[in-house]
Structure 1
């Protein structure tokens, strides 16, 4: 359900990221580039973790199918063992090509679910990190707002607008 709802809101997420990445009015935070490098590194690792992890999970499922077949024989069951999740079908014999199709569909379905859920979690964290760079930037400006008393009111007004922009 979350994946479907997220899919319907991608335009809103895009607008949100464009908005928090707009530095025309208040400048680029000093930590922004380092934060983006860190997030890109983690997102690449996260992608490979999900991809390789799903591949390993599917491979382990194939190797563990021997145990499933033994249980089938022992209890006279008809589960499809060569699958990501052992599955029961209402008929006794399943052709090999259908087992492969079933395994492929299950693997793709699991990958879609895992990758989508990971994306939702990661985007939330990524947005938070970018917003933290803005908060840090605002804090740095706030520390120096009263350095020039003649322009303090004007500078404070700009920082209030920046605060409103962030929150």
Structure 2
């Protein structure tokens, strides 16, 4: 039960059943990363814009908005469609496979375009339309971001040491 309007409880219940594969997806399921030290865009803002643009399409699709190209496509590979930011560009992926690289300001529009491609022709059609050079571009941006921010962009090791000292 939620401490909310009963309509929100129904939405939450439907979402839960859809997430478990026990109910056919009816609309948009947007997931986003929590953001980290590698994120080069405002993930919350991009996710909100994507939510607004894609909800109106009423397409049963799972879309991921990820803050960085280092982990984004891999972490969200189960999503039908996603975008991962990096080096002022958006790396669009379908089922974890990078299909196109677009300028950062065009990320949401690209999501809408490719969501429609998937709605009209399925994931297979979207994968047929991929830009053959997109994966190499994404890998180059991924490596540049790793070189710039390092493997531990969140200073996790340092934080672990601080937590251990609290015991």
Structure having the higher strand fraction is 2
The TM-score normalised by the length of structure 1 is 0.25
Structure having the higher Rg: 1
Structure having the higher helix fraction is 1
Q: Using CA pairs below 8 Å that are at least 6 residues apart, which structure has the higher relative contact order? A: 1
